[in-house]
Chain A
Amino acid sequence: MIVAAVLFTYAVLLCTLAPRLLRGVQWAERAPRLGIVVWQVLGASALTAAVLAGLALSVPTVRVSTDLAELLQACVMALAAQYATPGGASAGAVGAVLALAVLGRVAWCTGAALLRIRRERRAHREVLDMVGRPDAARGVIVLDHEEPAAYCLPGRHRRTVITTGALRTLDDDRLEAVLAHERAHQAERHDAVLAWAQALARAFPRVPLFRIAEAEIARLAEMRADDVAAARSGRLTTAAALLAVAAGRAPAVALSAGGSTAARRVRRLIKPHRPLGRLRVAAGSLTAAVALALPLLVVGGPAAAATQMNYCPDGTPAAQVTTMR
């Protein structure tokens, strides 16, 4: 019971407190790739903890034996011992429901999101291939459209698309920055990262962690691609390219009051770049690894201890059994 309680508390803390502490922190913008990994790890860790908490409630730890028949018998005995009492049975049922619900919800929502994304991409690509003009020299598809815009259609049949409006607005250096940005998205598979974050946010819409992680990962992925473009074309050239494409369009109706992400990205590129030091990146990566391993250690500790102990000195079947609670 203690293991389940610890894991459950850990998951709840991660889901509520962690996003409040981490949202919009300065270091993430200085090391966007680490920031993305940290948000992903927090989500994975919270999910693992919730599932394991459920399992810890419903499955007692069984002394591991070398003999398979003996092991099976011990398992059956352990389960029978737990479910013989009404309290044990209901705790087990609650745990099983929790674990299955979390796993099922994630699988269902991820599957649905992936299918939807694939369908939308294919429909978009079919029209694109009909009305776009391939520009083999630049490796892009050109669309005859006044408004400057650039985007990429990720996936196996990927396309980078740019409008004639954008080609007119951007000189060669800035165009190179735009293309480097799109190539970075593709090389680092940001579409898959975002699809996963989006699926989790849809699966658990009331959990702050997943909702905020989705927005933060989307923002950090753009900043990461900006950094790659800036390394190639220069920070000010990249900022100018962003500004040219963003400002050439009719302003959107709904924009967040705290300034758009686009503006934040331009400001970040204009200001002198201070990437996070190596030591702090290492410390951040270590923290992420610990967060990922923590739920497994909490479960694995008692389970490993159980394999070492001899619970049945007198050979009674009931004594062969222990539970994690």
Chain B
Amino acid sequence: MARFGELEAAIMDAVWGAGRSLRVREVLERLERDPEPAYNTVHTVTEILHRKGWLSKEKDGRAYRYGPTKSREEYIAGLMGEALAVAEDRTATLARFVQQMPPGEAEELHRLLGQAVAREAGEASK
């Protein structure tokens, strides 16, 4: 099951990397996986990605072309929006390391930290 997820990610990488929509054959050529997955497997997983909303599908002659519905950056921006949301709602869903800090406050703390580091260095050299 984990490998299935990996193949999904690899296919999305290939489509994002191409910068245009691809046929299944072209996706397969760009996968660079060892061992190379079967055409049918790639076709199936590509269809799954289309059904999940990750890929759009358009008819091109007798075959289909698959393109990304959103760029990788857009997805990352969405994740960061959830992770950094100011609303405290999400504290239980995700645990972020630290919230934002106003610039003035950060400056003062930098100064205090510098003093503390210097004091510690002074004590260590004594």
Contacts and interface: CB of A to CB of B under 8 A. Distances in A.
A185 B91 CA distance: 12
Interface in A159-198: 161, 163, 178, 181-182, 185, 190-191, 194-195, 198
Interface stretch (B17-25, B27-35, B113-121): B113-121
B48 interface: no
B99 A246 contact: yes
B76 interface: yes
A273 to B, nearest CB: 12
Given A243-B109, A243-B110, A113 B92 contact: yes
Specify which of B84, B100, B105 lies most central, judged by the most chain A CB atoms within 10 Å of its CB: B100
Nearest to B16: A131
Given A236-B113, A236-B120, A163 B80 contact: yes
Interface string B84-107: 101010111111111111110110
A280 interface: no
Given A124-B93, A246-B98, A149 B113 contact: no
Interface size class on chain B is: 35 or more
Interface stretch (B4-12, B36-44, B57-65): B4-12
Interface in A217-255: 218, 222, 236, 239-240, 242-243, 245-247, 249-255
A194 B92 contact: yes
Contact of A121 (B91, B93, B102): B93
**Interface SS of A by simple majority:** helix
Interface in A77-92: none
**Interface SS of B by simple majority:** helix
B120 to A, nearest CB: 6
A130 B101 contact: no
A303 to B, nearest CB: 37
A20 B105 CA distance: 28
A270 B76 contact: no
A291 interface: no
A253 B101 contact: no
Interface size class on chain A is: 35 or more
B113 A243 contact: yes
A260 B95 contact: no
Contacts of A293: none
A195 B54 CA distance: 31
A153 interface: yes
Contact of A262 (B73, B76, B83, B98): B98
A144 B96 CA distance: 17
Nearest to B74: A131
Contacts of B91: 194, 198, 218
Contact of B78 (A127, A242, A261): A127
B109 A263 contact: yes
Contacts of B8: 130
Contact of B100 (A120, A121, A262): A262
Contact of B102 (A129, A239, A255, A265): A255
B26 interface: no
A128 interface: yes
A190 B105 CA distance: 27
A130 B7 CA distance: 10
A117 interface: yes
Report, nearest first, the 10 A-B pairs whose CB atoms are least far apart: A247-B106, A150-B97, A151-B96, A246-B101, A195-B92, A252-B100, A194-B92, A246-B98, A120-B93, A151-B83
